[in-house]
């Protein structure tokens, strides 16, 4: 089966055809036909797989602050400080401080209520690599002057994978099949005692870049981690690193493959550990051992077979109990240290497949008598089949009644995770830490259920996949029961945490605190979401020359006040070593298509469902015109500090787990350089 790679793929180029994939009737796996074999299957020609889980063609080979209100700083809290980043041998990022005068509450400084005292000129640390002994000595000296643990707030940051905002009770959700049963009573209770952000946006519609933004304070356009072939730039400080420098104990518990430390998430944590389900954890450990040591003599057990087991189990892993057990253990350990602490917790269970344990599997659709399940969610032909017109497309097959049941299973997953969040918060309160701990509950993205013809996430930037819950509680500091409108982004969480703690953000941080907004003040904010996708195949020139190709699409969304701007660019990329004749034909077309932009806007306050007929590509409306000009200026500023990400090399067991989730790219050719994903400001040239 041959088909064009989309209407825009090679428009205007004579004699070129795009070719994608055939579908194996027995397995549902899509196999692209080429002249190269990577061993993924034993067919004569395959080079990559389009899995049923989204059928995403893989591009990785299988082998291969303005003024803002703050809470009063407790006595002894450090004053302004500047992070100076140094890279030491081995690539580890370390930090030093430029002192801005004596600390509050110390001799020679100023008292809590006194006016500032002018100090002598600052001492600037030399900009040269420092060895670990010097850094440790400097850190210990600084810690000796810091406030006591009782003076500083702890931070509990809970990330819920795949939970969309409009499925959370405090945001108004009522289950369709069980309208009197709340999905999130624990989060609702937390929101009643704190603040919920009404217009919180994820930085992308998938896990990796959203969590990079959440834990660094940088939007994706700045941190540059657009694909899972990239890692966090070693020079970017994480929240854990910043707080650790300021004397905090740090711990992290994660439960999804995209939170593994090789992407940079482990930096700054004293302990950072996985809490996978028993079967997945055992299979993952066995796979790594087999890869490192090989099978026992005479054994038929191969690493490949175990990797397949990891892949199949990843969809159905239920691990919230393991996450909670690890989190409670960390809470006890952190409290025993007597130091302030930062604890990051990631719950993965709301991610598809939706297989909540009893009683949550029937709680939101108790009368269902059908047979549909959410196992193999993206590959189940009773739910959808691939749309031949687009690589990421679905043709819906599920009935309205069965779709209601799938949604009820998703609600069950959310309720199951919510119960575990409640268990953690209750332990925190039982330890008498409620008034000393900033609690934040947030999600990294949502899921779609055919609202715009799609399924799952990592495909679009519609509201259902980027608008997320964000709830904060700190009694006595944050108002109780506040519903706070105004766009904020996951990248704004880091500066807000630092603002609450009275710690200055690293210089150059591009996001800003929304603490003043919570307290009723004004904030000039824009939330940015970004998504980069790649689809690999081949093209044929004049029916004779076959060239591998990667179709790249960059989508971005900008929410400013009630206006949401969206833009997209799609273009083909080809190998750098093209023959001269092929390059002469293809390179100009690549650049021409790279320059084409689809730009539109919609009033999401008036049209929250984002119907196509409410979207406009004309900017005669003064609100849309003003939003575009503001976004263009912001985007220009954000391009200046754009980072160059590192290269991801996850372990093979992790790669297989991601494969099973429908994420990993395993296409032909090397990864594209990060610079190819950089775009000019939206609307340039209008």
H/E stretch holding 223 reads helix 220-223
Query: Which carries the bigger pLDDT value, residue 99 or residue 534?
Result: 534
**Rounded Cα–Cα distance for residues 235 and 91 (Å):** 9
Can you read off the two tokens belonging to residue 472? 């904060």
H/E stretch holding 73 reads none
Query: Which carries the bigger pLDDT value, residue 112 or residue 656?
Result: 656
Query: Which carries the bigger pLDDT value, residue 489 or residue 304?
Result: 489
Q: What is the pLDDT of residue 298?
A: 54
Question: Considering the chain, what is the average pLDDT of its residues?
Answer: 78
Q: What is the pLDDT of residue 154?
A: 98
pLDDT digits (tens, 9 = 90+) for 154-193: 999 999 999 999 999 999 999 999 999 999 999 999 999 9
pLDDT digits (tens, 9 = 90+) for 434-452: 999 999 999 999 999 999 9
Q: Is 180 exposed, middle or buried (0-12, 13-18, 19+ CB in 10 A)?
A: exposed
171 phi/psi in degrees, rounded to 5: -95, 10
Q: What is the pLDDT of residue 686?
A: 61
Please report, for residues 14, 249, 333, 340, 372, the alpha-carbon distance to residue 246 in angstroms, rounded to integers and kept in the order given: 62, 9, 19, 9, 52
User: Where do we find the tokens 């077309």?
Assistant: 589
pLDDT digits (tens, 9 = 90+) for 285-296: 665 566 556 655
Can you read off the two tokens belonging to residue 340? 């302030």
Q: How many CA atoms lie within 13 A of 257 on its CB side?
A: 28
Query: Which carries the bigger pLDDT value, residue 603 or residue 262?
Result: 603
370 phi/psi in degrees, rounded to 5: -85, -170
676: pLDDT strictly greater than 80: yes
Instruction: Please state the rounded mean pLDDT for residues 412-428.
Output: 98
Count of other CB atoms within 10 angstroms of residue 248: 26
Q: What is the pLDDT of residue 121?
A: 31
Enumerate helices (H) and strands (E) in the chain, giving the number of each: 15, 24
Tell me, what DSSP letter sits at residue 257?
Answer: G
**Rounded Cα–Cα distance for residues 2 and 22 (Å):** 8
428: pLDDT strictly greater than 80: yes
pLDDT digits (tens, 9 = 90+) for 336-347: 999 999 999 999
**Among candidate residues 318, 460, 445, 311, the one with its CA nearest the CA of residue 379:** 311
Q: CB–CB of 542/519 below 8 Å?
A: no
pLDDT digits (tens, 9 = 90+) for 450-490: 999 999 999 999 999 999 999 999 999 999 999 999 999 99
DSSP-derived 3-state class of residue 240: helix
- Go through 121-134 and write b for each residue having 16 or more CB atoms within 10 A of its CB, e for each that does not: eeeeeeeeebeeee
Q: What is the pLDDT of residue 6?
A: 39
Please report, for residues 439, 445, 454, 524, 605, the alpha-carbon distance to residue 463 in angstroms, rounded to integers and kept in the order given: 25, 10, 13, 21, 11
**Rounded Cα–Cα distance for residues 173 and 143 (Å):** 46
Can you read off the two tokens belonging to residue 142? 């600084």
Q: What is the pLDDT of residue 115?
A: 32
Q: CB–CB of 450/383 below 8 Å?
A: no
Q: CB–CB of 657/284 below 8 Å?
A: yes
657: pLDDT strictly greater than 80: no
**What's 501-519 look like in SS3?**
HCCCCCCCCCCCCCHHHHC
**Among candidate residues 481, 500, 520, the one with its CA nearest the CA of residue 436:** 500
């Amino acid at each position: 089966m041959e088909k064009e790679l989309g209407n825009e793929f090679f428009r205007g180029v004579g004699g070129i055809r795009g070719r994608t994939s055939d579908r194996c009737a027995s397995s549902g796996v899509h196999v692209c036909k080429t002249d190269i074999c990577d061993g993924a299957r034993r067919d004569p020609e395959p080079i990559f797989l389009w899995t049923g889980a989204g059928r995403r063609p893989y591009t990785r080979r299988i082998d291969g602050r303005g003024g803002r209100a703050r809470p009063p700083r407790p006595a002894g809290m450090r004053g302004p400080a500047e992070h100076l980043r140094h890279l030491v041998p081995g690539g580890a990022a370390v930090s030093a401080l430029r002192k801005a005068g004596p600390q509050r509450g110390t001799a020679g400084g100023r008292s809590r209520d006194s006016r500032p005292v002018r100090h002598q000129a600052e001492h600037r640390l030399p900009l040269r690599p420092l060895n670990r002994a010097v850094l440790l000595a400097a850190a210990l000296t600084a810690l000796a002057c810091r406030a006591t643990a009782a003076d500083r707030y702890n931070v509990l940051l809970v990330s819920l994978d795949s939970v969309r905002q409009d499925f959370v009770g405090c945001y108004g959700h009522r289950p369709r099949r069980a309208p009197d049963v709340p999905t999130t009573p624990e989060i609702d209770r937390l929101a009643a005692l704190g603040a919920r952000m009404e217009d919180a946006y994820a930085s992308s519609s998938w896990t990796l870049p959203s969590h990079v933004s959440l834990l660094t304070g940088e939007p994706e356009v700045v941190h540059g981690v657009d694909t899972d072939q990239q890692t966090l730039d070693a020079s970017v400080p994480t929240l854990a690193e910043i707080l650790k420098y300021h004397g905090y104990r740090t711990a992290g518990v994660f439960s999804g493959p995209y939170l593994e430390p090789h992407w940079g998430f482990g930096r700054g944590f004293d302990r950072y550990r996985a809490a996978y389900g028993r079967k997945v954890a055992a299979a993952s450990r066995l796979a790594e051992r087999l890869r490192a040591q090989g099978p026992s003599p005479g054994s038929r057990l191969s690493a490949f077979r175990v990797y397949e087991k990891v892949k199949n189990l990843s969809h159905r892993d239920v691990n919230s109990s393991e996450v909670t057990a690890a989190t409670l253990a960390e809470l006890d350990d952190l409290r025993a240290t007597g130091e302030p602490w930062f604890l990051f917790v990631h719950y993965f269970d709301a991610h598809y497949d939706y297989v909540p344990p009893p009683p949550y599997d029937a709680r939101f659709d108790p009368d269902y008598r059908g047979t549909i399940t959410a196992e193999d969610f993206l590959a189940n032909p009773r739910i959808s089949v691939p749309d031949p017109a687009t690589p990421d497309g679905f043709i819906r097959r599920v009935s309205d009644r069965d779709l209601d049941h799938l949604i009820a299973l998703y609600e069950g997953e959310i309720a199951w995770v919510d119960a575990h969040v409640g268990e953690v918060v209750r332990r925190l309160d039982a330890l008498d830490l409620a008034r000393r701990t900033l609690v934040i509950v947030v999600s990294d993205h949502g899921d779609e259920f055919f609202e715009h013809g799609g399924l799952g996430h990592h495909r679009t930037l519609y509201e259902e996949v980027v608008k997320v819950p964000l709830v904060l509680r700190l009694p006595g500091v944050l108002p109780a029961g506040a519903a706070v409108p105004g766009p904020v982004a996951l990248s704004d969480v880091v500066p807000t945490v630092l603002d609450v703690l009275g710690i200055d953000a690293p210089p150059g941080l591009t996001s800003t605190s929304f603490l003043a907004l919570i307290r009723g003040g004004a904030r000039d904010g824009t939330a940015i979401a970004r998504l980069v996708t790649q689809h690999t195949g081949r093209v044929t020139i004049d029916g004779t020359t076959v060239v591998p190709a990667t179709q790249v699409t960059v989508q971005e969304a900008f929410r400013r006040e009630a206006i949401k701007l969206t833009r997209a660019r799609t273009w083909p990329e080809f190998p750098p070593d093209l023959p001269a004749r092929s390059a002469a034909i293809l390179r100009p077309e690549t650049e021409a298509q790279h320059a084409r932009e689809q730009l539109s806007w919609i009033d999401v306050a008036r049209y929250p469902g984002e119907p196509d007929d409410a979207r406009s590509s004309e900017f005669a409306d003064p609100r849309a015109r003003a939003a575009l000009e503001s976004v263009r200026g912001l985007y220009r500023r954000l391009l200046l500090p754009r980072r160059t990400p590192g290269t991801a090399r996850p372990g093979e067991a992790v790669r297989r787990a991601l494969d099973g989730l429908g994420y990993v790219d395993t296409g032909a050719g090397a990864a594209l350089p990060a610079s190819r994903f950089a775009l000019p400001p939206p609307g340039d040239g209008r």
